[in-house]
Amino acid sequence: MTAPYDPSDREKVVVKLPPALRHELKVRAAQLSVDIQDAVTDGVHAWRSDPSAAKSVDTSGGSSFATYLPSGLYGDFKKDCKAQGVAYNQGVAQSIRLWLDTHTMPALVRPDHVRRFVVCNQKGGVGKSAVSAGLAEALAEAGARVCVIDFDPQGHLTLHLGHKHLAIKEPSLAKHMLGEADGPIRDLLIPIEHDEFHGRLFLLPACKDAFLLDAKLATTRHVRVKETALEKAIEELEKDFDYIVVDCPPSLGYTMDTALYFARNRDGEDPQASGLLVVVQAEDTSADAYDMLHEQIEDIEGDLDVAITQLGFVVNLYDARKGWIATSSLDGWEQFGDPPVLAVIPDLKEQREAVRLKRPLLEYAPDCDQAIAMRDLKKALTK
């Protein structure tokens, strides 16, 4: 059926499509930054040009799907379907399948050596866990092998992805850092089992024993160089993954020192390959927290004679409706220049809903503005 939308431009079309096909269309269109109505339109044109190239689609269990086609195309396409002896719902499904098959995701070039993204700021509540999860999901969705590490004893990232904290007496990342755990650390990894990143995304979950990590790092005789503790603990994981994303606590202690050291430039490595992603909000307290982080970075660089790249800022939970404070603060971050603003992520309900449902954002709402911003962040880091 049709209903006039804009007679000089497009008209609304409603058909029934299987949920799996609809979901795949939403994800692919979002991945390629293509409007869904344009994707369907291109598919219809391709189908009309060569119906023999289309494949039959199982449309059983279909539900209502609406989009907009250029005015007049609906009628012509319906006539073509009738001439080919194809039901209209099947014709639209075949057109979408044809578009999907000819608009695959560009192959992600895997790095020669693991790239390390440390997501940080000294202020809590800015959304470091959400950004860590979203970036890891976007990388895995594009075909990379990704480990995301919940390095915050509060464990929000672990809970966001639908898993429990490790028990206090179980092996954990903190125990491995302190030389108190037996067995390989990869035994702690949890696969994030969704079709979008099946077999490519793994979580190293949090344990509340990390609250004690700072004090133990300061006193334990098992850690020869405190700043290397994180790197030594997860060293065996580096050959298994293309990217490691570390969700840091809002801390200025030894724990954060180990994360900063892990992000340092290594010999022979492109300085932009690994480093820090600083999550901020468009308000003043994020800037104050960044000043403290910047001082800590300079101290580590000076004390250990290393270089740590600040890859850029991620302005999270942005809402221009908050007025001048938000807009002027965003201008301030963008004028900072070095490091640059890599992404601005809007404050919308989908992320909160995904957290409540304990589902990855890119699986729950793959075409929402926040998911698109996470993919933009991935593109900025991997271009």
Query: What pLDDT does 5 receive?
Result: 38
Average pLDDT over residues 269-289: 91
Query: What pLDDT does 7 receive?
Result: 45
Which residues are paired to 118 by β-bridges? 246, 276
Distance CA 310, CA 15 (A): 48
- Per-residue model confidence as pLDDT tens digits over 228-238: 999 999 999 99
Distance CA 211, CA 205 (A): 14
| Per-chain mean pLDDT for the chain | 90
- Per-residue model confidence as pLDDT tens digits over 92-101: 999 999 999 9
Residue 368 scores a pLDDT above 70: yes
Distance from first CA to last CA of the chain, Å, rounded?
A: 43
Amino acid residing at 191: P
DSSP 210: G
Model confidence at 3, in pLDDT bands (50, 70, 90)? very low
- Quickly name the fold that domain 115-382 has: Rossmann fold (3.40.50)
Angle between helices 73-84 and 88-102 (to 10 degrees): 100
Higher-confidence residue: 59 or 276?
276
- Per-residue model confidence as pLDDT tens digits over 100-116: 999 987 777 778 899 99
SS3 146: strand
Query: What pLDDT does 310 receive?
Result: 98
Higher-confidence residue: 4 or 349?
349
Higher-confidence residue: 262 or 330?
262
Distance CA 30, CA 366 (A): 7
Helices (H), the chain: 19-31, 36-49, 73-84, 88-102, 128-141, 156-160, 173-177, 213-219, 229-234, 254-262, 284-304, 324-336, 349-357, 361-364, 369-382
Query: What pLDDT does 222 receive?
Result: 54
Average pLDDT over residues 139-166: 94
- Per-residue CA distances from 290 to 21, 101, 120, 263, 293 (Å): 44, 45, 9, 17, 5
Query: What pLDDT does 300 receive?
Result: 94
Average pLDDT over residues 303-332: 91
Distant-in-sequence, close-in-space partners of 5: CB < 8 Å, separation ≥ 6: 11, 12, 68
Query: What pLDDT does 125 receive?
Result: 85
Angle at the Cα of 362 from the Cα atoms of 150 and 247, rounded to 5 degrees: 15
Amino acid residing at 120: C
Query: What pLDDT does 45 receive?
Result: 94
- Per-residue model confidence as pLDDT tens digits over 10-36: 888 899 999 889 988 988 888 888 889
Residue 276 scores a pLDDT above 90: yes
Residue % of the chain over a pLDDT of 90: 63
Give the strand order in the sheet containing 341-346. Answer: 190-191, 201-204, 146-150, 243-247, 115-120, 275-280, 310-318, 341-346
Residue spans of the domains in the chain: they are 2-102, 115-382
Query: What pLDDT does 8 receive?
Result: 56
The pTM of this model reads: 0.84
Query: What pLDDT does 237 receive?
Result: 96
Residue 285 scores a pLDDT above 90: no
Residue 262 scores a pLDDT above 90: yes
Average pLDDT over residues 133-152: 95
- Per-residue model confidence as pLDDT tens digits over 329-349: 889 888 988 899 999 999 989
